Structure 1
Amino acid sequence: MPPPTIHPKSAAPSPEPATPAFWGRPVVDDGFDGDRVDPRTWLVYDYPDARVNPRTKAATTVADGVLKLTGGLYRGRDLSGGIASRLHQTHGRWEVRMRAERGVGYAAVALLWPKVFGHPEFAEINFAEIIDPDRRDAGLFVHYGPRGTQLQRDVRGDFTAWHVFALDWLPHRLTFWMDGRRIWSYRGPLTPERSKMGLALQNDQVCDRGAGFCRSRTTPRWVSMYVDRARIYRAPAGQ
């Protein structure tokens, strides 16, 4: 049974911080204003038999100008959803306005994933990962290399409310933003330099991380992640 249709903009998005003029116009600017995900822009996940992060396309819906990714029991199976950008690029800027409902068992994530993982680099950049079931802590992660070397920062807030997360990826540096405020700048050997990477928006089912990450008696029947807008910018010439 699919999750019920609700009106997620009852918690109205706050004003969006201005993007620095340096970036020019976005090449993708999706406000999810239709009645479904645009298949020219996004791939909808549908891997219900996956051992890690099993997903169903039934978990992905669009209504009232908002993308909704809903975790829950679908015909008795604990599944969730996600979408991935069809645009992959080396360097650029990505912005996502999102929020997450409380609930054990799911993590709301905005990340960059390479077009081909491991070729030419093993790389993953999570610029918002909200696994905390109370949605008071968001993790920022840089993963690199075949052994999964990882760096992490955390930011506190009420992530049941709308926030704009952004990532700037330029040669040899990463800059993480929340609501127009720089929260982490990284320069170092874990910065990917050769990969083409794309935006992924996921409400992950995270039971594979251990029993404490699985649905519990406290988890609501449905736990949703909402995305009001996603924007992608190319890196300016000469960068």
Structure 2
Amino acid sequence: MRILASLAALGLAGCATLPAASAAPAEGRALIFSDEFDGTTLDRSKWVTIGPDFWVNNEQQAYVDRPDVIEVRNGALVLTPRFAPGVDTNTKRNADFIAGRVETDGKFNMRYGRIEARIRMPDAVGVWPAFWMVGNGPWPTTGEIDVMEYVGEKDWIGSAVHGPGYSGDAGLSNRFYFPPGEDVTGWHVYAAEWKPDSIEFYVDGRLHNRITRPMGEMYGKWVFDNPERIVINFALGGGYPLKINGVKSPYQGLPQATVDRIKRGELAMEVDWVRVWR
């Protein structure tokens, strides 16, 4: 989940109007990982949590493993950020917010196939929830695939890939704009189809972005032959939201109205299920 850059220069602007594709994997494919979140607690055989000493992109939260931040209820994983001033992050900074990040590090990696999740998110400026994958080596030398990330403008989400020579602000990315009557607050299936020479991104079966090996090799090495782990997180503020909303106070990328809603516990990312097919 890194700061995105546009692919307009490569002719992909407006790609959200590409023809729709089937939302379901083709018959005969094997389900190799799934979590339906039907229990009452996070399945620790599939997921690990990240602690407060992990900090990137000048995000405003500290990640914690607490039941009021990471919970499974009503058939969904629910990540709820909280206001908690002065959290010690074991780094050179304190944080005023706590939030959740779960990933399959050491539990499951995928290399090629289809990954998808059914997710809904809040309408709130400066939030930064994401569903993505990242390689296990030094970033970005083993790649990052952002299936979905959202920075608080409810009519669109982004997808991207990052590798050596095309990472951070230079990541290969595109936006999907929802059709009238839809936005991130409804349930949607976000998916990526990962092949040896291309990665395709879908929202509810609608193809909206396709990155190919030659596109990546225009800038650097194509590194999407490495296994990657799954990450689901709810970040707050930081570099990417700042670029979108320009808010610098009271927190970078995070306005007071959103802070007030976090204090009231009103914001959550909900994940109905995650599935990986080969």
What is the TM-score with the length of structure 1 in the denominator? Answer: 0.81
Give yes or no for the alignment of 1:166 onto 2:191.
yes
Please identify which structure carries the higher strand content.
Answer: 1
Give the 5 Å matches for 1:30-41: 30-41=35-46
Q: Choose the corresponding residue for 2:230, options 199, 206, 222.
A: 199
CA contact 2:134–2:145 (8 Å) conserved in 1: yes
Alpha-carbon separation, structure 2, partners of 1:17 and 1:150:
26
Q: Choose the corresponding residue for 2:268, options 201, 218, 224.
A: 224
Corresponding position of 1:57:
65
Q: 1:146 Cα deviation (Å)?
A: 5.7
Alpha-carbon separation, structure 1, partners of 2:223 and 2:277:
17
Letter in 2 for 1:195: N
Letter in 2 for 1:166: A
Q: 1:116 Cα deviation (Å)?
A: 2.3
Corresponding position of 1:68:
78
CA contact 1:48–1:56 (8 Å) conserved in 2: no
CA contact 1:112–1:199 (8 Å) conserved in 2: yes
Corresponding position of 1:94:
115
Single out whichever of 145-154 and 175-184 deviates more from structure 2: 145-154
Given the superposition, is the C-alpha separation of residues 216 and 100 from structure 1 closer, same or farther in structure 2, using an over 3 Å criterion?
Answer: same
Alpha-carbon separation, structure 2, partners of 1:207 and 1:72:
16
Give the 5 Å matches for 1:75-224: 75=85, 77-85=96-104, 86-118=107-139, 121-131=141-151, 133-145=152-164, 148=167, 149-157=170-178, 158-189=183-214, 190=216, 191-209=222-240, 210=242, 212=247, 213-219=252-258, 220-221=261-262, 222=265, 223-224=267-268
Alpha-carbon separation, structure 2, partners of 1:106 and 1:90:
29
Q: Percent identity?
A: 22
Cα deviation, 1:44-76, whole Å, max 9, x if unaligned, reads: 222267364421112211101010111231355
Alpha-carbon separation, structure 2, partners of 1:150 and 1:118:
13
Letter in 1 for 2:78: K
Given the superposition, is the C-alpha separation of residues 208 and 180 from structure 1 closer, same or farther in structure 2, using an over 3 Å criterion?
Answer: closer
Give ranges in structure 2 of 5+ residues lacking alignment: 1-21, 87-95, 217-221
Alpha-carbon separation, structure 2, partners of 1:129 and 1:123:
16
Given the superposition, is the C-alpha separation of residues 71 and 124 from structure 1 closer, same or farther in structure 2, using an over 3 Å criterion?
Answer: same
Q: 1:229 Cα deviation (Å)?
A: 0.5
Q: 1:118 Cα deviation (Å)?
A: 4.0
**Total equivalences in the alignment:** 216
3-state DSSP of counterpart to 1:27 = strand
Q: 1:215 Cα deviation (Å)?
A: 2.9
Q: 1:194 Cα deviation (Å)?
A: 3.1
Corresponding position of 1:5:
none
Alpha-carbon separation, structure 2, partners of 1:201 and 1:96:
10
Corresponding position of 1:3:
none
Alpha-carbon separation, structure 1, partners of 2:54 and 2:205:
39
Alpha-carbon separation, structure 1, partners of 2:120 and 2:80:
12
Letter in 2 for 1:164: V
Please identify which structure carries the higher helix content.
Answer: 2
Supply the RMSD in Å over aligned alpha carbons.
2.3
Corresponding position of 1:6:
none
Single out whichever of 62-71 and 102-111 deviates more from structure 2: 102-111
Cα deviation, 1:156-189, whole Å, max 9, x if unaligned, reads: 1201100001101111111111111222222134
Given the superposition, is the C-alpha separation of residues 196 and 49 from structure 1 closer, same or farther in structure 2, using an over 3 Å criterion?
Answer: closer
